[in-house]
């Protein structure tokens, strides 16, 4: 048996899955790995392309007929939410004389209102975009453009987009592009729900891989990563889009946490809250709690 796995090239994924990918987990099968952005893996999962696959939690309602949600290996936590970025010169405070003048149509008019703006997002079924839609309900931007993640910050800095929705290491590097944060969607979510933010999930294809066994392999891979962080360093740096070791380390420390080993009660509650709110808003299909939160479903 050879296991097909698709994960992102981000440091948290290459760190977590290093032992499994490199044959260091006892009893696990050989693994062929594909590295791709989550917007790509979301689409690949719909096509049943992999045995194990990293996807956005926002994509689960379209995938649970064919996949089990595993309780480990994904990205979920606190203080790690997506950011909405813009250039400082677009953060105007509206005045009585300008509010009705149409200036708002040229871009971002204040910290809470993106009406009239063009916003670049990293994928239409990403958790980041789902959170953005929930946050901006009632005041949506004029235009959304799906843009490869690495093009978002340069595009906002150059004025091609009024704002951009970013994830991952952009939390640490956006000031280098001369950008400022309009909102931290993780802070907004946590303040509103009291729950961690569910970003990326690991799924096991039904009929292809035993979810209980896969859970054991991934947890062992996580344990080995924590026990010897140096073992994966060269591999992580090879695939990281941001090559600076200090940024890579901060990325891993933020996104690899207790929820990586076990979603637990708070993690499952966060998944249910996200998908429940999104379904109530008509943004995703309705998904029952039992199927959304247990690999044994």
Positions annotated as catalytic residues are 168
What is the C-alpha to C-alpha distance for residues 294 and 282, in angstroms, rounded to an integer? 23
What is the C-alpha to C-alpha distance for residues 91 and 15, in angstroms, rounded to an integer? 37
Burial class (CB in 10 A: 0-12, 13-18, 19+), 78: middle
Q: Token pair for residue 267? A: 């993690």
DSSP for the chain, written as a single string: -EEEEEE-SSHHHHHHTHHHHTT-STTPPEEEEEE--HHHHHHHHHTT--SEEEEEGGGGGGTTTTEEEPSSSSEEESS---EEEE-GGG-PPP-TTTTTTTGGGGS--BTTB-TT-EEEES-TTSHHHHHHHHHTTTS--SEEEE--HHHHHHHHHTTSSSEEEE-TTHHHHGGGGT-EEEEEHHHHHHHHHSSPEEEEEEEEETTTS-HHHHHHHHHHHHHHHHH-GGGGHHHHHHH-SS--HHHHHHHHHHHSSHHHH--HHHHHHHHHHHHHHHHHTTSS----HHHHH-TT-
58: left (phi over 0), alpha (psi -120 to 50) or beta: alpha
Where do we find the tokens 């689409």?
Answer: 43
């Amino acid at each position: 048996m050879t296991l097909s796995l698709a994960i992102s090239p981000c440091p948290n994924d290459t760190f977590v899955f290093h032992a499994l990918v490199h044959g260091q987990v006892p009893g696990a099968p050989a693994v062929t790995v594909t590295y791709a952005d989550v917007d790509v893996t979301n689409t690949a999962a719909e096509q049943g392309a992999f045995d194990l696959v990293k996807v956005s939690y926002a994509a689960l309602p379209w995938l649970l007929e064919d996949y089990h949600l595993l309780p480990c290996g994904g990205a979920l936590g606190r203080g790690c939410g997506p950011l909405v970025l813009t250039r400082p010169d677009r953060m105007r405070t509206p005045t009585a004389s300008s509010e009705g003048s149409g200036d708002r149509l040229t871009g971002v008019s204040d910290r809470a209102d993106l009406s009239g703006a063009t916003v670049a997002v990293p994928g239409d079924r990403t958790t980041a975009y789902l959170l953005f839609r929930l946050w901006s309900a009632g005041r949506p931007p004029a235009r959304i453009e799906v843009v490869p993640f690495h093009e978002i910050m340069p595009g906002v800095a150059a004025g091609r987009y009024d704002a951009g929705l970013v994830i991952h290491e952009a939390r640490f590097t956006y000031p280098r592009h001369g950008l400022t944060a309009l909102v931290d969607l993780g802070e907004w979510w946590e303040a509103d729900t009291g729950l961690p933010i569910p970003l990326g999930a690991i799924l096991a294809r039904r009929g292809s891989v035993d979810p209980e066994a896969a859970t054991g392999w991934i947890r062992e891979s996580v344990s080995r990563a924590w026990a010897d962080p140096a073992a994966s360093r060269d591999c992580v740096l090879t695939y990281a889009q941001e090559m600076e070791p200090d940024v890579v380390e901060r990325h891993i420390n933020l996104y690899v946490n207790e929820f990586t080993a076990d979603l637990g009660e708070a993690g499952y509650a966060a998944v249910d809250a996200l998908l429940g709110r999104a379904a109530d808003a008509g943004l995703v299909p309705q998904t029952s709690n039992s199927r959304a939160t247990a690999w044994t479903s």
